[in-house]
Structure 1
Amino acid sequence: MNASTTENIEEMVKAQNVCINFPPKVGSPGLFAFLLQQVKLGLSAALVSDLLSQLLVIIGQWLRKVADKGAILSVVEEIGLTIAFVVIVFLVFRPGMKWMVRRTPQGGQINDVFVIAVILVFMLTPAITSIFRVFIVMGSFILGLAVPDGPPLGSTLVEKLDPLVSGLFLPLFASTCGMRIEMLHLLRSNEYAKTQVIAALVTLIVKFLVSLGLPLLWKMPTRDSFALAFIMITKGIVEMGTYSLLFDNGIISGDLFAIMSIIIVLLASIVPLFVKILYDPAKKYIGYEERSIYHSKLNEELRMIGCIHVPGNVNSIINILNISSPTKETPLALNVLHMVKLSGQATPLFIDHKNHNETLSMSPPNLMYEDICNLAMDKLSSFIILPFHRTWNVDGSIESEDQAIRNLNCNILNRAPCSVGILVEGHRKSIATFNSSNNLPSGIAVIFLGGKDDREALALAKRILLRQRVGLTIIHLKAANDLGTRDSDGMLDEEMLKIMRESRYIRYIEQQVNDGPKSSSYLRNVANDYQLLIVGRRYNMEDPRTFGLEEWCEFPEIGIIGDMVSSTDFGGIYSVLIVQQQQLQVY
């Protein structure tokens, strides 16, 4: 690093002593995104704090120069260079990257020459910032903001650089910083270092109290307020890099570097534990009123959420809507979520399209379930339809499989404030609708063993009965030695079956089975007679009728029966809807 850059850093450190007392003021948005979960307010506050802190540092540097040296012309020159740097970045560099994006065909890969050019610009950032007398951290921050997020450029940069940076460089950098910390400095630190540490701790405490007091003032729950306050004081790799840069250039002493690095490590270790204890996103659904098809009246509006990943999911959602018998007397309200993977976007956003009845929400994949569950709560939905994470070709071979979709489905099953259905599409794509063109009855069957999930499946069947041109069969697998259940769950099953048997528009089949293999053998023989099978999830339910099938279950999230009938061994020319009734958890 050249002399002008070192002098610039020294001036900035002096300015920090005046304006922000040097230590923990700047937050790392990436670290906040990891810790925040649903507290997105803190993420916005972290970004604003980041910008304001950097601006205060620069302004403090200029004020210090004017006060000490009276170098007004020099300050004016630096202000002009800083403005010129920002203008060049956003009026030259960013439009240039947008031009690269426009030159890329829609859905195609960006030219490697463009990617290499952008990477070279970032590698030249230290030299560029020194020319414009901009602090290197601030320069890199502004350049990063100028990169268009998402595909094709942002996603390509993430794909090419993230494994190398996050998997190799960051761990190595953190390790080398730890190796450079000498504990002996803690015993013989000078007065300046002690003063800075005291200032850092005071700043940390004040920031914590302010971050705690403001949410409490606006009636935020106490536990959430404490969680937000802890999040706002956390530090990460950005601060470690800043202190390492200052230490390498001799701006701060070894004892000060050691103390501040230890503070960062302690905060990064302790804060996530406190946040996890104080804030549980799933608790927001506790005590939520009963929202399921079973508890919905036939003559009231049924509110549903349909999730779509690929265009092929659209027909399946439409088919489910058709068999749900929407009429003027029994209306159906549907909110459709088109979930698209956007690489290169780390910050969750929520954008409302005011001219259309649409909403765009951007979240990290591991937090997407929160947006879906929140929408279900806001819209008072009773049912969420999710596509299965695996699709098949006509010949039964696997067409696509996405582990991220599977994780999303599992998270929603565990946390949803209403009932959930996972739709496994049939392997034979020619079966596109459950309504035949010649008005012949279509084959829809409900496989019933018992329990609340199976009752939810029957509740959906009751709505199908409102549409008499749809053929419906109930297959009741009954244990051979079953003498009748006297518990409340069993009585609810019998009452539901009695209501269904009274309808003359359904076909009721009762089949006695002794164990899992007998159930599998029977269902294998009859499953291909239908176009849609509706089954209950029945997760973790021990039953003699499924005994012996657990070890063959590949996907526990769709239950033993759902996994069995959706496997390619059964032929798979039909679709399967696995239903789970709303889980009312008590803490």
Structure 2
Amino acid sequence: MSISSNYTLFHSVTRLNHTSYKVCFDAPPHIVSDGLWGGKENGRTPIKSFFPMFELQILIIFVLTQVCTILLKPLKLPQFIIQMIAGLIIGVTFEIKPLEPYMTILFPYGTHDTISAISSIGFVLFVFINGVQMDFSMITRTGNKAWTISVVGLVMPLVIGLIPIILFPGRLERLENANGHGIVVALITHSMSSFAVIASLLSELQIQNSEIGRLALSSALVSDILRITITTNLVVMGNPNMKMISRNLASLFALAIFIPLICRPIMFWIIKHTPEGRPVKDGYIYVIISMVFALGVLSVKIDQEFVLGAFILGLSVPEGPPLGSALVKKLQFFGITLFLPIFVTTSVLKADFTMNFSSYVMVSTGIVVFVTHLIKITVCFITALSCKMPVTDALCLSLILNTKGVVEIGIFNALFDNDIINGQTYGVMIISVMFIASIVHWSVKLLYDPSRKYAGYQKRNIMGLKRSSDLRILIALQKQNHISAAIDFLDLCCPTQESPITVDVLHVIELVGRALPVFIPHCLQRQASGSASHKSYSDDVILAFDIYEHDNENAVSINTYTAISPANLMFEDVCHLALDKVASIIILPFHIRWSADGVVESDDKKILRALNQKVLEIAPCSVGILVTRINLIPKATPTTSITSEYSTTRLAVIYLGGCDDDDEILCLAKRAMNNPRINLVVYHLVSKDCIKELEDLMVNSDGLLQEMKNAEGVRYQQIFTKEGSETACFLREVVNEHDYFIVGRRHGISSPQTDGLSEWSEFPELGVIGDFLAAPDLNSSASIMVVQQQISRKKELNGWIL
């Protein structure tokens, strides 16, 4: 193959042999041009300058990646696979004769190394960010199940794969001469799991918060640390000079020990000198980023990969806010959004896909990859089953731990650049990554549905409770101003020694700057620490509810928890805890909070509204959404009497009848009427055209409505309305007469009393009546509890009803 200097960045190109060329270029080289016409005399045209060509190539890769994303969206492929496909397309166009001249102009000889070197910054930052997000201390707290699965899944494929290598060394030597260490590389790399790759897969599938997701991340954390330890030591031992082995080994251990010992205290000092609630100073961030590349250079000096120093430094950074989250936020765009896709695409461009399917390269490497994954899937599956996991979950876990991704691409790219594997072996490895990642992604998405455990038939609601049963409530909070509203609702439930309640309080916090979701039971945390002074993310929540439990001794039992998870997966923590604690109702704060004068104090659509909507959809029990305006419920005790010195709360129940939600609010109202300082009014809205249905309702309502109607201290009032406009007029009349409303959500149920109101509904999660009462134009100071009884769902999966 001859190369014309006109299609390169160089003045002249002379061929020396089949693969080597002698080039001539200016020193320093042309970085920028003088424009399309300004560089004719001095030669600094865009086609002969590095920076304009680099920008053009980035633009081509970006456009092609976006086009592939749109066209391949129905296949639901991982994002990095689409970037790899873009690289394949660019590589194939070089082989098409009519397009070859144009591709030679767009990707001239001499630019591949430039764009690859610059884009490698993206891979380094990707490894560093994942190191920051890893909580290394979790490795000491990981359970035996995760350790067993990760160690067995790593050791068994290596041991089984090494047996034929030891028994037939001559055959291995011939194969290695043919494909350049492809068999050993395939065996080692495909036996291991990468934390960053598995975390990315679980994030795309949105299951990192599920039970299998947490177990997979814990196993991957152990496996990744073992992988780094094995590979770095193998690189050191690969040097034939014993003196160099000793030097590099000592330097490696010094790097692994002194970076955490020196850098981690410095970073804690940075956190200590950052005021609470304020961002970390940019100067500190830039110093840490500079250390990433300095340690990378140091890693190369001891014959290790550039990314090793970045990874160790990332592990030394305290995960989460303020420092970890600041680093992730600062590097996310340039590291992962911009440079990493270019790195993946250019890595695929290097591969040689002109393979002979009958060659030793294709057959031997392909067989090793297939057998290694088959062994790893089998041993992980059997180990998971021995840990008493369900068959489907065990299969999904074994598939997840076998996935491949960007980290493996970076490893194969480095091995190819260092001439450890040849172009054809590199091509096989790249194809194996694409196939394995796609198969795992599709298989897990098909097999695993985390919401299936909520699709049961067991009734968990207030109406289904026996008289002797205590009421179990789960309260989910996010902000401090949710605490007082939640305590007011507990007072509304009127806990007494004869009718106690058990409350599980879950403080949900958005996962930022870390990869592992965290779930903290504070009762166990306090027992483990032996002191109430143990620092917690939820100190204010714990203190407030401890005081409330103390003030209502023997009437209220409270347990507090903290869940740190991605915003789009917080519902998993809420629903799982409700299922585990057999809660009868989940109480959620509404995403908008109004002050008494109608001014919006906070509005959190991104987290709270998404959480509420998802919990309403899959909750394993009843759900209540609490719209808070002002806290007016007086604190009740079992010995309180009605006297003028105590204020009362005017509670209203809006009852339409004909659905389970309305029966649930009557059950809640029954508990509230036991509080002597609550004046309860039940408004029964009846359609003027449905008098006969009203009579049937009074007969067949299981005594709930009749009991409320005849209860002492409860005012029952029938309101006849013809349509939604009359209902709206009535609600406007009474809205300022009450401090608290309890209404049913009645989602998907139409009735004459609400005809026309749904067209003006802004928040469907509140139902028609709740949405109307929450409207700011009513100028009301009343809080609203919107209740949805547990939805019985039949969930079909793979043709079977679960």
**Residue of structure 1 in register with 2:514 after alignment:** 345
Q: CA deviation at 1:359?
A: 4.5
* Structure 2 counterpart of 1:343, one-letter code: V
**Residue of structure 2 in register with 1:417 after alignment:** 620
Distance 2:236 2:380 in 1: 29
**Residue of structure 1 in register with 2:607 after alignment:** 404
Distance 1:350 1:383 in 2: 21
Q: CA deviation at 1:489?
A: 8.6
1:538/1:125 CA distance change after superposition, 3 Å = farther
1:274/1:491 CA distance change after superposition, 3 Å = farther
Q: CA deviation at 1:474?
A: 0.8
Question: What is the aligned counterpart of 1:136 among 283, 299, 306?
Answer: 306
1:45 equivalenced with 2:219 (yes/no): yes
**Residue of structure 1 in register with 2:749 after alignment:** 541
1:216 equivalenced with 2:385 (yes/no): yes
**Residue of structure 1 in register with 2:427 after alignment:** 258
1:478/1:168 CA distance change after superposition, 3 Å = farther
Question: What is the aligned counterpart of 2:478 among 296, 303, 309?
Answer: 309
The answer to whether the 8 Å contact 1:14/1:61 transfers is: no
**Residue of structure 2 in register with 1:8 after alignment:** none
Question: What is the aligned counterpart of 1:380 among 576, 582, 594?
Answer: 582
The answer to whether the 8 Å contact 2:264/2:318 transfers is: yes
Q: CA deviation at 1:175?
A: 3.5
**Residue of structure 2 in register with 1:6 after alignment:** none
Distance 2:358 2:259 in 1: 42
Question: What is the aligned counterpart of 1:95 among 265, 268, 271?
Answer: 265
Question: What is the aligned counterpart of 2:719 among 508, 511, 520?
Answer: 511
Ranges in structure 2 where 5+ consecutive residues have no aligned partner: 1-112, 114-179, 533-558, 637-642, 796-802
Question: What is the aligned counterpart of 1:26 among 188, 193, 196?
Answer: 193
**Residue of structure 1 in register with 2:682 after alignment:** 474
1:362/1:15 CA distance change after superposition, 3 Å = farther
The answer to whether the 8 Å contact 2:472/2:503 transfers is: yes
1:464/1:514 CA distance change after superposition, 3 Å = same
Question: What is the aligned counterpart of 1:145 among 293, 315, 337?
Answer: 315
Q: CA deviation at 1:214?
A: 1.1
1:526/1:374 CA distance change after superposition, 3 Å = same
Q: CA deviation at 1:492?
A: 5.1
1:478/1:182 CA distance change after superposition, 3 Å = farther
State the TM-score, normalized to the length of structure 1. 0.90
Q: CA deviation at 1:173?
A: 3.1
DSSP 3-state at the match of 1:77? helix
Q: Deviations over 1:114-161 (max 9, x none)?
A: 111112222334312113433334333222211111111111112222
1:573 equivalenced with 2:781 (yes/no): yes
The answer to whether the 8 Å contact 1:350/1:362 transfers is: yes
The answer to whether the 8 Å contact 2:656/2:686 transfers is: yes
1:239 equivalenced with 2:408 (yes/no): yes
Distance 1:173 1:133 in 2: 22
Question: What is the aligned counterpart of 1:447 among 646, 651, 654?
Answer: 654
Q: Deviations over 1:51-99 (max 9, x none)?
A: 212222233334444xxx3x33322222211111012210111111111
Ranges in structure 1 where 5+ consecutive residues have no aligned partner: 2-12
Distance 2:314 2:181 in 1: 26
1:156 equivalenced with 2:326 (yes/no): yes
The answer to whether the 8 Å contact 1:442/1:471 transfers is: yes
Listed as ranges, the matches of 1:225-304 within 5 Å are 225-287=394-456, 289-304=458-473
* Structure 1 counterpart of 2:652, one-letter code: A
1:564 equivalenced with 2:772 (yes/no): yes
Question: What is the aligned counterpart of 1:370 among 553, 567, 572?
Answer: 572
Q: Which has the larger radius of gyration?
A: 2
RMSD, aligned CA: 2.8
The answer to whether the 8 Å contact 1:533/1:577 transfers is: yes
1:92/1:504 CA distance change after superposition, 3 Å = same
The answer to whether the 8 Å contact 2:664/2:789 transfers is: yes
The answer to whether the 8 Å contact 2:655/2:682 transfers is: yes
Listed as ranges, the matches of 1:35-114 within 5 Å are 35=205, 36-37=207-208, 38=210, 39=212, 40-65=214-239, 69=240, 71-114=241-284
DSSP 3-state at the match of 1:484? helix
Q: CA deviation at 1:431?
A: 4.2
The answer to whether the 8 Å contact 1:292/1:582 transfers is: yes
DSSP 3-state at the match of 1:108? coil
Q: CA deviation at 1:110?
A: 1.2
Distance 1:430 1:283 in 2: 38
DSSP 3-state at the match of 1:384? strand
Q: CA deviation at 1:385?
A: 1.0
Question: What is the aligned counterpart of 2:737 among 515, 519, 529?
Answer: 529
**Residue of structure 2 in register with 1:117 after alignment:** 287
Distance 1:461 1:469 in 2: 13
Q: Deviations over 1:471-524 (max 9, x none)?
A: 001111111211434999996547421121111211112112222222222112
DSSP 3-state at the match of 1:293? coil
Aligned residues: 570
Q: CA deviation at 1:294?
A: 1.0
The answer to whether the 8 Å contact 1:151/1:343 transfers is: yes
**Residue of structure 2 in register with 1:127 after alignment:** 297
Distance 1:533 1:299 in 2: 27
1:291/1:491 CA distance change after superposition, 3 Å = farther
DSSP 3-state at the match of 1:541? coil
State the TM-score, normalized to the length of structure 2. 0.67
**Residue of structure 1 in register with 2:640 after alignment:** none
1:552/1:256 CA distance change after superposition, 3 Å = farther
**Residue of structure 2 in register with 1:5 after alignment:** none
Q: CA deviation at 1:350?
A: 3.7
The answer to whether the 8 Å contact 1:15/1:60 transfers is: no
